[in-house]
Amino acid sequence: MVDRIDRQILALLQEDAQLTIQEIGKRINLSKTPVHERIKRMERDGIIEKHVTLLNKKKLGNLLVVFCQVTLAKQTRDSFFEFDRAIAQLPEVMECNRVSGTFDYLLKVVVRDMENYNAFYQERLSVLPGILHISSFFVMAEVKNTTVIPVEE
Amino acid sequence: MVDRIDRQILALLQEDAQLTIQEIGKRINLSKTPVHERIKRMERDGIIEKHVTLLNKKKLGNLLVVFCQVTLAKQTRDSFFEFDRAIAQLPEVMECNRVSGTFDYLLKVVVRDMENYNAFYQERLSVLPGILHISSFFVMAEVKNTTVIPVEE
DNA sequence: GTTGAAACCGGTTGTCT
DNA sequence: AGACAACCGGTTTCAAC
């Protein structure tokens, strides 16, 4: 589905989506045409999902990041479905994963400050249907945070 | 530092970095010039960090995502510093946050499959200096995963 | 902040190997 | 599948309002 050259292109684009096609070609020793074709093909196939702008949290006023472990009262299909649907609507929730282990969901939440977190917690999160328990872990330092999925060996 | 119009631009660019300046202008009722100026200013100020390409994990062969809770043997400044430096080198680690609570770090790890995770766990993670304990939680379903930081109220 | 114009550069397409 | 050339669209810069 993706060969070695595709992976090289993906590695570059994941770091910087603004690289020009010629620049990419220069780095992997290829002319514009095949680079262009490969990118278009991977966009059509959905391997390349989209191009986004990343912002600096610190410059936006040192936002508060919180991880929440959520346990539902019932581990049924409908219960999960309800929660999934509700959580997708909350802009403060940047990530939500259903996990194996001692709780059901792990959420990554971003808010402006503790006051906003309290409001989010009380008024938007804990009121969701089927929740039994929530544990919050506050991020003190962001050591690493990349969008780069390793594609090369 | 950023006004209402800046926030509108950031909201759009976070969703799609390929929007043309005129298209952005049309959506927020502004001409090319000021939109261009504001974006350039926010890039200079570092509010806009970079533009990246996001890939589809499923299309890359259904990668395995694992969250790891890591506890260090000693909670000293040097111990943290050593670990921070080491973890930044591992491409499998997409996120690493130092958190408050019953463990020190929460990691988000991406690997191809369980075999690769085992190798990563044994040969690359558990050998890091100062580690006392690691707990792994496997992601069964990615409910939500966005890079969009909420900037509008 | 708006409008309009001009230069430049990269994406895009077609053709050839 | 890759190289080359020509076209077109958007960015970028400028001037004037």
- What is B102-153 written as a DSSP string? SSSEEEEEEESSHHHHHHIIIIIITTSTTEEEEEEEEEEEEEEE--------
Q: What residue type is assigned to position A115 of the chain?
A: E
> Positive or negative, the Cα torsion across B2, B4, B6, B8?
positive
Pairwise CB contact (< 8 Å): A46 & B60: no
pLDDT digits (tens, 9 = 90+) for A32-53: 999 999 999 999 999 999 999 9
Shortest Cα–Cα distance, A116 to chain B (Å): 11
Tell me which DSSP letter residue A76 carries: -
Residues of chain A predicted below pLDDT 70: none
Check whether domain A4-44 has CATH 1.10.10.10, yes or no = yes
Q: Which residue is nearest to nucleotide D9 (CA to C1')?
A: B20
Q: Are B2 and B10 in contact (CB under 8 A)?
A: yes
Closest C-alpha among B101, B87, B141, B48 to residue A95 = B141
Instruction: Match 């390929």 to its residue by tokens.
Output: B18
A137 - beta bridge partners? Answer: A67
CA-to-C1' span, B62 to D4 (A) = 39
Q: What is the pLDDT of residue A153?
A: 73
Pairwise CB contact (< 8 Å): B50 & A53: yes
Q: Are A42 and A35 in contact (CB under 8 A)?
A: no
Q: Which of residues 25-84 of B touch A (CB under 8 A)?
A: 45-57, 59-61, 63, 65, 67, 84
Q: pTM value? A: 0.96
CATH placement of domain A64-138? 3.30.70.920
| Residue-range domain boundaries for chain A | 4-44, 64-138
Residues of chain B predicted below pLDDT 50: none
Sequence-distant (6+) residues with CB within 8 A of A82 are A129, A130
CA-to-C1' span, A10 to D3 (A) = 22
Q: Which residue is nearest to nucleotide D12 (CA to C1')?
A: B36
Average predicted confidence (pLDDT) for chain A:
97
